[in-house]
Amino acid sequence: MTQYETIRIERNAAPGVTLLTFNRPEQRNAMNPQLHEDMTAADLAGRFLLAPEGTVWQDGPLALAVRGGAICYLDEIVEARQDTTVVIHPLTDSRRILPLDKKNELVPAHADFQLVISYNPGYQSAVKDLKESTKQRFVAIDFDYPAPDIEAEIVVREAGVDRDIAHRLVDIALRSRNLRGHGLDEGASTRMLIHAGRLMIAGVGLKAASRASIVLPITDDADMREALNAAIEACIQ
């Protein structure tokens, strides 16, 4: 990822994007503003604030990353309004600048500055979608669940359970993912398996840990919960 200045990651509920972005060999600083529909361009770029000494300019997280050569990671980019996200356009073409109109300043991007955005395309709607002109400014990575053996190793490392338990948890997750589009919007994420594993390390049984970490959080539908509980029973036997 290091040679690309702008990266767009399309992913499902599988975790790892944040880990991939923040845990880099070069140990660079990173900004991770939380995007939402009430966020304005000023929240990203910066604004004037009242202080005891008078009106002062405060850089936003995007401006700080641009000046300092950090990574700016905009997770769930589609949650922000389109008139907010267009502030990144001058940064993602040959200009590589951030216009601060209120300050009458053009901030050139540091050579090490990198912009990463991510979102789940399955949750998009006509209202919440990236503009084509924004999409085409990024190289893209399709981020999916890891292969079962790799996922089990992740659970072993992160939760501290043995490989047999990890593989059972992955089997439960695979069964839940087969229900995607058939009652579930998403199957169990690796993060859920790690939560279940940590509960087991604390003394909770496999069935109870799976129910608390996977079944109950993933759906409120009674029939789907029953189907998931049946899948857990099959994996325990």
pLDDT tens for each residue of 171-213: 999 999 998 888 888 889 999 999 999 999 999 999 999 999 9
pLDDT value, residue 130: 80
Among 28-32, 133-137, 164-168, 194-198, the least confident range: 28-32
Query: Are 196 and 235 in contact, with CB atoms under 8 Å apart?
Result: no
pLDDT > 70 fraction of the chain, expressed in percent and rounded: 86
- Whether residues 124 and 47 share a domain: the answer is yes
* Same domain (yes/no): 21, 93: yes
Strand 54-59 relative to strand 46-51, pairing: antiparallel
Residue 81 CB: number of other CB atoms within 10 A?
A: 16
| 154 & 111 share domain | no
Instruction: Say what the pTM is.
Output: 0.76
pLDDT at 123: 56
Contact assessment for residue 105 and residue 46, using Cβ atoms and an 8 Å cutoff: no
The answer on 90 and 20 residing in a single domain is: yes
Q: How far is CA 205 from CA 44, 57, 165, 210, in A?
A: 45, 54, 11, 8
What separation in angstroms does the CA of 70 have from each of 8, 115, 116, 135, 147?
17, 9, 11, 21, 31
Instruction: Give the amino acid at 134.
Output: T
Residue 1 lies in a domain: no
- 90: pLDDT confidence band, cut at 50, 70 and 90? very high
Do residues 22 and 91 both lie within one domain? yes
| The pLDDT of residue 235 is above 70 | yes
Question: What average pLDDT does the chain have?
Answer: 86
Residues 154 and 199 in one domain: yes
Question: Which residues are CB-contacts of 227 (< 8 A; sequence separation ≥ 6)?
Answer: 179, 183
Q: How far is CA 85 from the centre of its chain?
A: 17
pLDDT greater than 90 at residue 97 = yes
For 123-153, what is each residue's pLDDT tens digit? 555 556 788 888 888 988 887 888 999 999 9
On whether both 210 and 224 belong to a single domain, the answer is yes
CB 72 within 8 A of CB 116: yes
- If asked whether residues 93 and 21 sit together in one domain, one would say yes
How would DSSP label each residue in 120-132? -GGG--SSS---H
- The reply to whether 198 and 136 lie within a common domain is no
**pLDDT value of residue 55:** 93
Residue 45 has pLDDT above 90, yes or no: yes
- Please say whether the beta carbons of 7 and 138 come within 8 A: yes
- Domain end (from 108, 124, 143): 143
Task: Write down the pLDDT at residue 184.
Answer: 87
Domain, as residue range, for 107: 6-143
**Residue 134 and residue 175 in one domain:** no
Domain boundary among 120, 143, 166: 143
Percent of the chain past pLDDT 90, that is, above it, reads: 51
3-state helix, strand, coil in the chain (%, to 5): 45, 20, 35
Least confidently predicted of 34-38, 66-70, 163-167, 210-214: 34-38
Please list the residues that pair with 216 across neighbouring strands: none
In total, how many domains does the chain have?
2
In the predicted structure, residue 84 carries a pLDDT above the cut 90: no
pLDDT band at 21 (very low <50, low <70, confident <90, very high): low
